Structure 1
């Protein structure tokens, strides 16, 4: 038998290492920047152990954000721009990784793998596009080969496509990491991530009937209103929302939308929860002249109330802990709303169980890369039991 080529031999060597250093990358629909998490992993599956060694978020420039917005969550885009951004994002993310390693005084040769989520630009589950001849689909750009070649590190990317190919909607992929890292044999937990979209994982102590699903908008509508009316990228700490008053008629109009009554699991994105959605609700509620603080308070209440209604109507009773992550975990309006709705539940962030609330999603993609290297598909209810990610070699 001929020897393995250098790339395949390297892959085998890394997969067999008892301990791996993996960089997880996450850039969400909020378009605020790139999360970079350096993690040490041992084991796999339910025997996985990890430690977060370093974490940073590298903000995107305003010009870069505008570039992405030209192709983000739109049915019609400039195809050349899309093509160029696929390469540019991969190259930019590689530069950000190299700078982070320099700042941390870590040699790139010590890194075994980079796990790149890429930048989602369009999410199209069949429930949204409603074209019966077409399947679920999603698209993340930021080519993994560019990252691998520029950093010299094996890169695993494009995780969502396998999930779709196996019958899923490509999201939320948090399910796999939440189950492996967040389960507890004594406690019923909800792990709630509030990024651009809010998604949660129900983790009962008996580990049966686990549910992972999107539940509605997270920060996407709040952030858009902050940019439009206050020239701010987001509502820091929920301060603007706390200064306003919720318009109950508008909140009812926003919640009177088919997505909220659809059965889980389900996925969504800014393609659905857009400025058009808000404007239609304002027209239905005769709330076109609402003040900016009141609008942001109402959109924040929408985020929280959608979560509350889902938990109360579609999850079993008996939750012990509601653990938050993502940017929305720092929004005091939202977290206070949740605590009032569930007075007997411990509402905290995921650092309570050793998962940094800011780094959690980047950690989860690092975990998916670890599973792709040395794991086996994990059966979790009716969810696709697959190993995800495409491998890009540096040579």
Structure 2
């Protein structure tokens, strides 16, 4: 039956490289997406290091890609199979898995005059074998082929979840990178784009100076002082002045990029505080031209939603915003991205477009993703 609810599993591994998130989602044409269950599997340190090496490699062998891809695919399958066992479901109960893969490099404007490209390490054929489920994957390149940025893709899902007729909503995803989706009240087209780095630099700088993987609740950053001169040097990066559509990734923002802006006299904790301020300032630079003094609801999602220091900085910059979380819509802040790829798989199997040309700059709506049978 065409209108009967269907079950999908969305898989997401973001630029923070901390693990694979799996979300079981119920989807139907006449109801909002419903999150049923979730499971997260931690990225093993050797795989994380292998992926980081590939992200920053000037040269890499096919064997390196094959080894990393197999380990990553096994991790995805572990997440899916655990979720199936947890919910007492058979592979046939799942209409499809929506797999984002792991972004290795994203260059929607090309590199040194070359063609545009985006590379997500993934093996949907292998994932179908390991899980017994149909897999939908390779979502980004269709939008890229149509002249778009291929990112962000989540805004169409944000629209399905959060659009309201009475007030502007902005969805802020604080992952490795920060991106926003502006959902205007009424019928105007949404806008969305990357605003700059978030956890990618905060985590990397913290890891350089501590044994842990991230600055819990932003406590270390909160105890530092903002280095205003450093902040201005960081904000001088041309990306922050680039009009949307725009997207970015590790190919631009990484530790060597930060180090090029350091004088060598800064205290490590002050650098962390300045990176937190950079996230807040660049998010604000993205939002303010859209809304000015108009009150709006700011829905904060992603791992950075748990960073109280960064959220407080953003709140200070945006006094007209009412801060909220996805919980009011039945979603945890941690599961929006995985849920989005379940929804994208649903759209693909129903032959429905799922990019937003107003966001990515593509020539028009496109059906995204390829289908891999079990």
| Aligned residue in 1 for 2:75 | 92
| Aligned residue in 2 for 1:18 | 4
| Aligned residue in 2 for 1:124 | 107
Mapping of 1:1-395 within 5 angstroms? 16=2, 18-43=4-29, 47-126=30-109, 129-131=111-113, 134-282=114-262, 286=263, 288-377=264-353, 381=358, 383=362, 384-394=364-374
Residue segments in structure 2 that go unaligned for 5+ positions in a row: none
1:302-328 C-alpha deviation (Å, 9 max, x unpaired): 111101122123555424101111111
1:331-382 C-alpha deviation (Å, 9 max, x unpaired): 1111101111122310122223333210000001111111111253266545
Q: Retained in 2: the 8 A contact 1:338–1:347?
A: no
Deviation at 1:130, TM superposition (A): 4.0
Q: Retained in 2: the 8 A contact 1:192–1:323?
A: yes
Cα distance in structure 2, aligned partners of 1:262 and 1:317? 22
Cα distance in structure 2, aligned partners of 1:363 and 1:324? 15
Q: Retained in 1: the 8 A contact 2:35–2:330?
A: no
Q: 1:217 to 1:56 in 2, by over 3 A?
A: same
Alignment length, in residue pairs? 370
Deviation at 1:178, TM superposition (A): 1.4
Cα distance in structure 2, aligned partners of 1:79 and 1:329? 37
Cα distance in structure 2, aligned partners of 1:92 and 1:347? 34
Q: 1:48 to 1:377 in 2, by over 3 A?
A: farther
Q: Retained in 2: the 8 A contact 1:94–1:146?
A: no
- Secondary structure of the corresponding residue to residue 76 of structure 1: coil
Structure 1 segments of 4+ aligned residues over 6 angstroms from their partners? none
Larger radius of gyration: 1
Residue segments in structure 1 that go unaligned for 5+ positions in a row: 1-12
- Secondary structure of the corresponding residue to residue 265 of structure 1: coil
Q: Retained in 2: the 8 A contact 1:137–1:169?
A: no
- Secondary structure of the corresponding residue to residue 191 of structure 1: strand
Higher alpha-carbon deviation: 94-103 or 25-34: 94-103
The normalised TM-score by structure 2 is 0.94
1:11-52 C-alpha deviation (Å, 9 max, x unpaired): xx8xx4621100000001100000110011111xxx452211
Cα distance in structure 1, aligned partners of 2:198 and 2:351? 32
Deviation at 1:160, TM superposition (A): 0.6
